[in-house]
Structures are given as structure tokens and as C-alpha cells.
Amino acid sequence: MAAPPQALTPTLHASFLCSLALVLLRAGRLSAASQIVSSFPASPPASLLRRLIPALASSGLAAAAVRFRPLPVDPHTLNSIILSYCNLRLLRPALSLLRPREEMCKRGVPFDGVTVNTVLVGLCRSGLVDEAARLTEMLVGGRGIGSLDVVGWNALIDGYCKVQDMAAALAVAERMRKQGVPLDVVRYNSLVAGFCHSGDASAAWDVVEAMKADGVEPNVVTYTAFIGEYCKRKGIEEAFNLYEGMVRLGVLPDVVTLSALVDGLCRDGWFSEAYALFREMDNIGAPPNHVTYLKARRVKESFGLLGEMVSRGVVIDLVMYTAMMDCLGKEGEIEEVKDMLQHALLDNLTPNCVTYTVLIDAHCRTGNVDGAEQVLLQMEEKSVSPNVITFSSILNGLVKRGCLNKAADYMRKMKDSGIAPNVF
């Protein structure tokens, strides 16, 4: 009589589940992998976690990765989880993993510079610049890293500029210089933009002079910062004078430059001229898109542009409708966005991927992810292929609602469609 099969030992069972989860992750079956992980024993061997956790984190399943306690303290495992949280813009959980590691730094377990930079960029993008600066001091002082590299310093400068703390931004720039890290054109442009946004154009021009003294030539981003600020202050003449001077110097405008000028013309009531410049953007080599076109924040002005064109017999095309939908969506006016789409349909215009993406983003901004998913289904029914921006809008909406498993499913759909995810 054959002996009954013996039950798997806990370690062997955990090893089998780990291997199965890894296979599912490599195949892009994230939901199935997450279910397998949920059936793991409470404290699997650390050797298995060092294989499994980085794979979960790199697949966007950070929540599944941190369910195990205690977490292995090796840098690779820790960094993979922190990077995953930062890529999902979930900064609080990332910081909760970093804070208790100050003692780990003192014990000589290093942080990876890439991870530090990722956290700093994530914090600064969210306006938590003081938190980023405190974290920098903790890590450098705790010997987690020797010093910041150019990416880390740049993140701090950019962060302070965006919150218009220009004194702090200049202090960071000076600290960089003292450590022998030169400022590049990107960081000079951050300082220029920061001073422009804070209304101090004179200080911004001083930065431009410092750039030139350091042998760094201003580029289109430098001049566009001034043009955008002049347009916001209704200094359209100054803006066009600078634009013409920029072109004479051989610096060609981009879509952001021209969109700022369109915005400025709208603000001053030059609607016909704004539309003429808009139509000329293709010929200039900077075609408008739904993200940068008409940066005017006042919806009524944009409607004024439409009214001006209609009164002059100008046919409104899909790009113009889409731009208006985008403007309304950013104001949270979802019903008006849908009404605008209906007007486009009545004009026998066929919505494209950009139009649907604007509608999806508008739904997500109001927290209506279900409505966004319905629009995605409409796209599929009409054979309109979504792009990375379409998926990123839905992913943002799902993550904000805490639907991480569903977000992981959409990332799998992106992969199946051959669309590489970006950082959203």
C-alpha cells in the first residue's frame, strides 16, 4: 500500500507560491499574482521576499509588496518599494518607509542615489519642498548618501521655484556652487520661471545675465517664461517684442511659446488675431495640442473667442472644440464638457483620441472614474485607440480613489496594447 503524500513544509509551500507569483507577474497577469500573494503565510522567509518584493514593486503592486512584516532591510528591496510608491505618486507611504531608516543609515546600510532623487522629485512636484529639504539633511547627515547629485539639487531648486520661495531656491543654487556642482540651463530656467511667476521680471533678467556670464545660453524655455508672464499681465506688446527679438537671435518658438501668445491675445480681446495665430502654428512647425493650447484660465474668454469666430463665419473645427472641452474640464465643468462634445457631433465632427481623452480626464477630475471608464468603452466601440495619456488619466483617477488593483489591471491592458506606461 502506497504511503499517503506528505504535506508541503511551510517553507516549500511559500517557495512554490513565490515562484507562481513571479511567473504571473512576468506574464503581466497582475490581478492573479496579487491573489496568490494574498495567500502567502504571514512571515515567509526573507530570501523569498528579496525575490518577490522587487518584482511586485516594479509591476506597480507596492501595496502588496509592503504587506509582509518584517520587511527585508537590504537596499535593493527597500528601494524597489519606494520607487514604486513614487511612480504612483503615493508619497506618504514612501516617506513612512524612509523615516524609520535613519537608524539604518547610521548602521551603514546605504540608500541608492536614484531612490533618493525619485523621492525628492516626487515631494517637490507635490509642493512638499520643506519635507524634501529635511529628508535631504537626514540622509546626508545620517550618512545614507555622501551628498546630493545634480538631479537631487535640481529637484530642490525647481521645488522652491514652484512655491515661489526664491530666497531658498537661490540658497540651494549657491550651495551647489560651493560643492562644485555647476548650474545647467534647466536650473537657470527654473530660477527664471520662479522669478517671473512671482512677478519679479527684473530679478529674472538678472538670472539671464548670470547665465550668460557662466557661458550658458538662454533657450526657448528661458524666453517663453518671460513671454508667458508678460501675457498674463496684459503686456502683449512686450511679449511680441521679446518674441521677435528671440527669433532674430535664432531661437525658434515652440508650442508653449505660441500658446502663451494666443492666451495673451485672448486676454486683451484680440480674438481674431488669436485665432489667426492658432491657425498659423502648424505652418510655424509647432502644431497646437490639447494640453498647451489656450492656457487662458478664464473660460468666458475662451467662449468669447468662439463667439467672435462664429460671428465672422469661421467654421469651428474639432481642435477648437477639443481645446474648449479641455478648458472647461480643468474648471470642473463636466456637464459643459459633455455639452460641447454634443455641439461638435451636431457639426458632423468625429471625436478622435485626443477629444475622448479630454472627456476622460474631465470625468476623473470630478472623481467620476466610472464615467471615465464608460467613455473608454465608447472609444473601443468606435474603434478609437487610446494612447498613453488616455490610460494615464484613468490611472490617476483610480489611484486617487485607492483602487490600486484596478489600476494594475489597466497597466496590464496598456502592456497588452503595446503602450509603455509613463510616470503619471
pTM exceeding 0.85 = no
The rounded mean pLDDT for the chain is 77
List Cα–Cα distances, 183 to 170, 193, 228, 252, in angstroms.
Answer: 11, 15, 23, 23
CB neighbour list of residue 222: distance below 8 Å, 6 or more residues apart: 185, 188, 189, 192, 208, 211
The pLDDT assigned to 226 comes to 95
DSSP 100: G
Please compute the mean of the pLDDT values over residues 322-331 and round it to a whole number: 81
Q: Would the pLDDT of 174 be above 80?
A: yes
pLDDT, tens digit, for every residue of 146-171?
Answer: 567 788 888 899 889 988 899 999 99
Hey, what's the cell of 257?
511659446
pLDDT of residue 37: 79
Reading the block at residue 46, the C-alpha cell is 526573507
pLDDT band, very low/low/confident/very high, at 88 (cuts 50, 70, 90): low
pLDDT in tens, 92-121: 676 666 655 554 554 444 555 666 777 787
| pLDDT at residue 69, as a whole number | 57
Is the pLDDT reported for residue 349 higher than 80?
yes
Architecture label for domain 315-424: Alpha Horseshoe (1.25)
**By the 8 A CB rule, do 391 and 421 touch?**
yes
Least confident of 14-23, 263-272, 283-292, 380-389: 283-292
Name, in order, each residue with C-beta under 8 angstroms of 114's C-beta and a sequence gap of 6 or more.
Answer: 79, 83
